[in-house]
Amino acid sequence: MNASKDISQLIANANEDDLRYIVSGWANKHSDFRDYVRNILCPPIEDVDFGLKLSQAVNRETKEFFSHHDVREATDWRNVYNDLIEPWSENADSLSSEKLYDLCDVIVKEVGMQVRDEDFYGDDWYGDDFSGYIQDIMDVLGNLAGLLLIREDVSHEILDSLKKLIKAAKKKDIIDSYIGSPYDFILELISLRQKADEVICGIYDALIDENLGDEAGAWVCRKIDFIRSMGLADEARKYMEEEIKYPEVCLKYYNELIDDGNWQDAIILLDRAQAIKDNGSYFYSPRTPNWLELKQQLLVEHGTLEERIDNLKRLFHNSHNDKKKYYRQLKELVDADKWNEFYYNLLSNVTGYNVIDEIAPFLIEEGELDWLFRLVSESTAKTPTDYRTPLKYAEALCRTHFEKMQTILIRTVRAYAADRFPPKKKVNSSKYPYFRADLESLSELGYSKTQKEIVEFLLQEYRFRPSLTKELKSIKLVTDNG
C-alpha cells in the first residue's frame, strides 16, 4: 500500500466491514476515541443536529417503490419515524425550550413540507403504504408543540416564530386532504397561550381532548403536576382520582401511594383499575400495566394466603401467555391435600374459544387424560375437518386412548381431505407439504399403523392429484408401533 496515498481517499475506497473493524479496535484500546465515537454516533439529545439528521434520513429513505401497476418515488416514513422522530419525542421533556422549538421547526420543514401526493399512493399489499407513519409524525408534532407551549420560559419571539412557521406550512399542506394535519390545532394552542400570556389549564384541556397519538393520559398527568405547581394539592388529587380511567394516570396515582407507604389504598386503586379494564374501557391498550400483577406484588408482602391465592386465580384466568407461571405459584400455595379439588375447579372455570389449548398442559400434568380426550372429542365433533387438534394431543393420549384416537384421526383427516381436495375443483397445492408433514409426524407420535392406513387410503382416493400423491409417497411408512 502506498503510504503517500491520501487518507480521505483510502477511507472513501475502503470496505465498510474493514472500517468497522478498525474503528472498533481503536475504540477498545483508547477511551478518549471511544467517547468521541459514542458522542458522534449517539450524542446527547440537546446536541443533536435535528435538521441534518432528519434531512439525511429523508434523502436516504426516498426511493423507488414497485407495485403491480406502476413505479413511483416515495419516502419510507416508517423508518424516519422509528429511527428518529419517535426516539426524539420520548426525550423531548429534557430539551430546552429553544431546542424543543428547533425540533418542531425541523419536523415541519423536513417532513410536513416535504410530503407529496405520491406518499399517499401506497398499498398495504405491497408494503409501501406509509401514510400511517406520516400520521404518527404529525401527532408527534402536535404533542411537541404542546410541550413547548406549556413552558413558562417560552418567549414571545418563539411563539411568533412558531405561528409564522405553521401558517407557512398550511399554505403548502397536502397532508390535511388525505389524513388530517395538526396545523389548525397548533394555531389554536398558540392563540390560547398568547391571549392568556401565561400557561393555563385550557392548553392542557385542548391537548387532552385532541388526544394526538393516544397521548391524552400523559397530558392528564402533566395537568395534575401543573395544578400542584399552583399550590392546589387537594384539587390535583381529586382530579387524579377522577381520571384513573387513563392507565398513565392510574399508574401515577399508584406510584404515589406506594411512595407514601399507603399500600391499602394502593390495593383498592388497583381493584378499581382492574374493574375498568374488565368493563372494556377504550382507554386501555396493550401498554396498560397488569394491575393484578401489581396487586400480587403487594399481597406477597402485605396480604393473607387466601388473598394471594384468590388473586392468582384471577391472574390465571386473565392470562394467555403466563398461565404456567401462575399455575406453579398456586400449586406452591395450596395445601397438597386440597390440590386435586382446587385444580379441578380452577380448570373447569376456564372459558373461551380455545379452552382445550388453554388447559391441556395442566390436564396432562395432572394425569387427567379422560378429561383431555373428552375435550378432543368435543372439538372434533364441532369441527369435523379439524385433524390438527387430535394430532396435537395424540402422543399424550396414545397409551390410554389409542383406539379411540386412531378412529378420530382417520375420520378427521379424511374429512379434511374431502373438504380441501375435492375432485374437479381447483385447490391450493401450496398446502400439500404442510399436510404431508402433519401426516409424517404420526409415526413419531406412536401411530405408525394409523399413518399407513391414512396414507394408503389417500393415495387411492386422490390419485387424480399427482402433486398430492407425490408428497404422500415421500412419507416413509413403518409399522413397528401403534
E strand or H helix at 71: strand 71-75
Is the residue at 426 inside a domain?
A: yes
Q: How confident is the model at residue 69 (pLDDT cuts 50, 70, 90)?
A: low
Is the residue at 209 inside a domain?
A: no
Question: Which pLDDT tens digit goes with each residue over 78-92?
Answer: 999 999 999 999 999
Is the residue at 409 inside a domain?
A: yes
* Short-list 141, 146, 145, 136, CA closest to 222: 146
Q: Which three cell numbers, joined as nine digits, stand for 378?
A: 368435543
Q: Is the pLDDT of residue 150 over 90?
A: yes
Spatial separation of the C-alpha atoms in residues 307 and 300, rounded to whole Å: 9
Neighbours of 187 (CB within 10 A): 16
Q: How confident is the model at residue 468 (pLDDT cuts 50, 70, 90)?
A: very high
Question: Which pLDDT tens digit goes with each residue over 185-229?
Answer: 999 999 999 999 999 999 999 999 999 999 999 999 999 999 999
Q: How confident is the model at residue 42 (pLDDT cuts 50, 70, 90)?
A: low
Q: Is the pLDDT of residue 404 over 90?
A: yes
Query: What are the beta bridge partners of residue 74?
Result: 63
Is the residue at 362 inside a domain?
A: no
Is the residue at 125 inside a domain?
A: no
Is the residue at 13 inside a domain?
A: yes
- The per-residue pLDDT of the chain, averaged, comes to 91
C-alpha neighbours within 13 Å on the C-beta side of residue 305: 6
Question: Which pLDDT tens digit goes with each residue over 284-301?
Answer: 677 789 999 999 999 999
Spatial separation of the C-alpha atoms in residues 164 and 101, rounded to whole Å: 13
Task: Report the number of distinct structural domains present in the chain.
Answer: 2
Q: Is 219 helix (H, G, I), strand (E, B) or coil?
A: helix
Mean pLDDT for 435-440 is 95
Neighbours of 105 (CB within 10 A): 16
pLDDT at 32: 77
Q: How confident is the model at residue 346 (pLDDT cuts 50, 70, 90)?
A: very high
Query: What are the beta bridge partners of residue 343?
Result: none
Is the residue at 395 inside a domain?
A: yes
Range of the structural domain that residue 21 is part of: 7-41
Is the residue at 416 inside a domain?
A: yes
The CA–CA distances, whole Å, from 154 to 103, 158, 194 equal: 14, 7, 11
E strand or H helix at 466: helix 466-473
- With both helix axes pointing from N to C terminus, report the angle between 131-149 and 97-107 in degrees, rounded to the nearest 10: 150
Spatial separation of the C-alpha atoms in residues 466 and 457, rounded to whole Å: 15
Q: How confident is the model at residue 22 (pLDDT cuts 50, 70, 90)?
A: confident
Query: What are the beta bridge partners of residue 186?
Result: none
Neighbours of 391 (CB within 10 A): 21
